[in-house]
Structure 1
Amino acid sequence: MITTKSQQDGSYDKFGVSTPGALETDEPWISRFTDVLRKFWSLGFIAFGGPQAHIAILRDELVVKAEWIGEEQFTELFAIGQGLPGPTSTQLVVSCATSRAGPVGGVVALLMWNMPGLIVQTTCGVLVTSFIDPDDPPFYLAGLAPAAIALLFKAAYGFSGQLDKLGCTMALVSCIVSVIIAGDNVIDKGVCQWVYPLLLVLGSVFCLIDSKRENPFGTTYTKAKPGWDSDSDLTFKRIGIPLWVGAFIFLLWAAVLAGCLIIRAATTGEKGGYLALFETMFRVGSIIFGGGQVVLPMLYGEVVDTGWISSSTFYQGFALAQSLPGPLFNFSSFVGGAYLGVGGALIAYLGLFGPGVILIFAMMPFWSKMRHIDWFKAVLVGLANTAIGFVFAACFLMYQNAVTSAASSTAFAVAGVMAMVYKYPAPACIFGGGVVGALLNLAELGQKPY
């Protein structure tokens, strides 16, 4: 929890908003950095269920429990991550930790969030070991995904509380579009690469226009409370990235991407090596919208059709990634490890994660300085309304994939009750549901598919 100190002539609330006359002071950086270490060292071990379930875990840990940031700020950062290419949940980890302890805190949180899954993926990729059968996962993993989905439902319920009627309508539209794209056998799943960004842009434009009307449909614009930097630049100082540095970071990403495209054009006849691996991963990471699920079709043609790894190895690695905690983008280390060993795993990891992480660092200072400007606030509201619809779509889609039997339904119910009724933290809920699912699967109870 933020414990910004007050002075005799003023004070700060728990989110760092200064009251009139306050003199700005803050906790020492080392104390805030220690908070990041304490919070994130364990999350990388329990972050099962895919990117949308990760959002639920992060909201529960950082907003509800630790009270690092408010619901509104968390949703804004989530919406910004949705609007950028790359792994949304990882970008949210970086942005939340950076707003607490600066870029060093963001980088450390990133590594702690990714490390457990990264190590296993790299090891299995190098050894090309098929530990996980996609159609028959080990009994001890059977309850983890349903438990994580229960937390996703909790997060969706929490997000819905901040929506007005206009926000609900916008979320419904983006939810319907997402469900139809994912659930239709005719529609090419690759269209999400332009449909998701288009929905976010349209939502932002609509809210921006609506906010200018004399009697807007939405009420969020007028009800929004002053936030972190309305009277104080405390959060901007905590982020520690000047605006010009943010602009430079963005240009750095553009330059590396341009270099990758030049390399691709110049080496048309050459199909392998470390440079080609990095170019492929960085280019794909720069155009992936929609999170980890989009990685599969995007990467398949790049690494299988070129002969870097076999189709069976590719699917084994992706199944393994889905069974492990952490972001699905860790799959890149499996591909790189299977192709070029440990060095290839690190190159592939840096290439695929690089664009999304670079861009979220570039956006952070602009977000903290501009989030109270009226037009930018309206844009953020539009992004958030649309992005919340994606969360609800994930609830429907992931539930039908993860909850397929009486045993998995029981694990889902146990974790949900632990989270919603007894208010246990996310790790305990996932562990509790996971244990129930494992025991039922071990005893072969409730195994008949629905």
Structure 2
Amino acid sequence: MSLRYYIFLKDVLVLALTAFGGPQAHIAIMFKLLVEKRRYLSEQELIELNALCSILPGPTSTQTITAIGYKIGGPNLAYITLLIWILPAATIMAIAAVAITYLQEQGISLAFLRYLQPMAVGFVAYAGYMISSKVVHTKTAVILMVVSAILAYFFSSPWVFPVLLLAGGAVTALRFKQHPLEKDKKLKIEWANFILFVAVLVVAALLGAYTSSLPVRLFENFYRNGTLVFGGGQVLIPLLYSEFVDFKHYLTGEEFLSGYAIVQALPGPTFSFCSFVGNLAMRRYGIAGQFLGSFVATVGIFLPGTFLIFFVIRFWDELKKYRVVRASLEGISAVSSGMVVAAAILLYHPVPNTPLNFGIVVATFSLLMFTKIPAPILILTGLLLGFLL
């Protein structure tokens, strides 16, 4: 492996340990490190890749960073990128689930996490501002951003996200003649990863239906959820709550919300929350069973999006040469920035609406906007205040 690949993987590890605030905030941090500092790709390339990953089901920031790894060093570098990005947060969430089980047995309160959720809202609001300032340059884009933010706010069904993204793309695709023609368009599609994606879905569904093994059923549950989630971790949370708390009673509402507060405090992918849910679902099998639950849940939730990004990224550069596709990216990017704005407002709803919490949101946004204080320092300060106060 060349020195450039090692430097890139070190940067991925830095992101995995410092990228707080969910998929929208991750993109803002990727801009700073991967575009402005290292110049692995251009601003436009990152915006387009993120827009593509927003259309696909699965974890948006995970697919984006995997795709960047693929562009730099092909499939092998992309697989290592994926592992380095997922492993820290998924491991910490598995340990957190075991710790919460212990704390509950000892009757210890989890109130020290209370300042982290308003801080997470500040992170997402900052990401919304950063992304919209980079992708919204025309009146059409402004209108698409505002309309998509309103619709994403009032209709939070998982299917609303892909529909909005495709509709936004269709609006700006109508103006494809404004883009110059490009020759040498040879679109060669390799179907292997798409066939794998469908095959695993069918096999998991059949095994889940015909087996009484909880790990197998958990894998099927998470793989199915991974194929249905568009728009990142914020969309995944209500789906998991309905299935694992309301319907299957694998964990209580209080446990679920405690885990969600912890994942807000962690860097890396929000989908690592599944490691926590899978762990508690298997607690009656002891600590070994709990870690097995984390493993099958993590593999299950990340696998569908991984298959799909490996399928699409192989012909993405050729696909972009079509004027209609290039024109549609403006609308898709504008809609995805509108969805970030909606996510910031929606994430504030579960937070108690006190002057203190609102102040924390504004302070977090302002510190990110006007200072160079690293995100981990802000989060650790929030944790420390939670302990002290």
Contact kept, 8 Å, 2:176 with 2:326, in 1: the verdict is no
8 Å Cα contact 2:49-2:67 kept in structure 1: yes
Counterparts in 2 of 1:56 and 1:121: CA distance versus 1, 3 Å: same
* Residue 249 (str. 1) matches residue 193 (str. 2): yes
Is residue 327 from structure 1 mapped to residue 269 from structure 2 by the alignment?
yes
Contact 2:94 2:275 survives alignment (8 Å): yes
Q: How does 1:156-195 map to 2 (within 5 A)?
A: 156-160=131-135, 162-181=136-155, 189=156, 192-195=157-160
- CA change 1:359–1:155 in 2 (3 A) is same
Alignment of 1:245-284 (within 5 A): 245=190, 247-264=191-208, 266-267=209-210, 272-284=213-225
2:33 alignment partner, one of 61, 65, 69: 61
Distance in 1 separating the partners of 2:203 and 2:164: 29
Match of 1:75 in 2: 47
TM-score normalised by L of structure 2: 0.83
Residue number in structure 1 paired with 2:260 = 318
On the 8 A contact 1:79/1:380 being kept in 2, the answer is yes
- Distance in 2 of aligned mates of 1:134 and 1:388: 37
Asked whether 1:199 is paired with 2:148, we answer no
For 1:205, the aligned partner's letter is A
The corresponding residue for 1:136 is 111
* Cα distance between partner residues in 2 of 1:335 and 1:180: 27
Q: After superposition, where does 1:94-133 map in structure 2 within 5 Å? A: 94-126=66-98, 128-129=100-101
CA gap of 1:154–1:435, structure 2 versus 1, over 3 A, is farther
Q: Per-residue deviation at 1:406?
A: 6.1
Give the structure 2 partner of residue 148 of structure 1. 123
Give the Cα–Cα distance (whole angstroms) in 1 for the partners of residues 162 and 109 of structure 2. Answer: 31
**Quick one: distance in 2 between partners of 1:150 and 1:263?**
42
Identity %: 30
> 1:204 deviation in Å?
1.9
Write the deviation string for residues 268-309 of structure 1: whole angstroms up to 9, x where unpaired.
Answer: xx5542221111111111111121122233223433433544
Equivalent residue for 1:287? Answer: 228
Alpha-carbon contact 1:82-1:88 (below 8 Å) kept: yes
- For 1:380, the equivalent position in structure 2 comes to 329
**C-alpha displacement of 1:177:** 0.8
Residue of 356, 362, 374 corresponding to 1:429 = 374
Deviation, structure 1 residue 417 = 5.2
User: 2-side partners of 1:108 and 1:354: how far apart?
Assistant: 14
Partners of 1:69 and 1:409 lie apart in 2 by 36
Which segment drifts farther, 430-439 or 127-136? 127-136
Q: TM-score by structure 1 length?
A: 0.73
Q: 1:162-213 deviations in whole A, cap 9, x for unaligned?
A: 52111111111111111223xxxxxxx4xx221111111212222222325x
Note if contact 1:48-1:144 (Cα within 8 Å) is conserved in structure 2: no
Deviation at 1:147? 5.8
Once the 2 structures are TM-superposed, how far is the Cα of residue 54 of structure 1 from its aligned partner? 1.7
**Equivalent position of 1:24 in the other structure:** none
1:110 and 1:277 map into 2 onto residues whose CA distance is 22
Q: Distance in 1 between matches of 2:109 and 2:42?
A: 39
Displacement after TM superposition at 1:74 (Å): 1.0
Q: CA deviation at 1:53?
A: 1.6
Moved more, 78-87 or 112-121: 112-121
CA shift at 1:39, angstroms? 0.8
Q: Which runs of 5+ in 2 are unaligned?
A: 283-288
Deviations 1:64-99 (A, max 9, x none): 222221121111111111101111111112112222
Partner residue in 1 for 2:320: 371
Is 1:352 aligned with 2:294?
A: no
2:285 maps to none
Unaligned stretches of 5+ residues in structure 1: 1-28, 182-188, 213-220, 237-241, 445-450
Q: Which has the higher contact order (CA 8 A, sep 6+)?
A: 2
| Letter matched to residue 375 of structure 2 | I
For the aligned residue pairs, the C-alpha RMSD in angstroms reads 3.4
On the 8 A contact 2:118/2:348 being kept in 1, the answer is no
CA distance in 2, matches of 1:407, 1:419: 18
2:250 and 2:362 map into 1 onto residues whose CA distance is: 42
1:394–1:142: structure 2 CA closer, same or farther, 3 Å change rule?
A: closer
- The amino acid of 2:120's aligned partner reads A
Distance 1:370 1:433 in 2: 41
Indicate if the aligned counterparts of 2:113 and 2:386 stay in contact, CA closer than 8 A.
no
Closer, same or farther in 2 for the Cα pair 1:363/1:336, shift >3 Å?
same
Query: d(CA) in 1 for partners of 2:319 and 2:344?
Result: 32
Which residue identity does 2:201 align to in structure 1? L
Query: By percentage of residues, which structure has more helix?
Result: 2
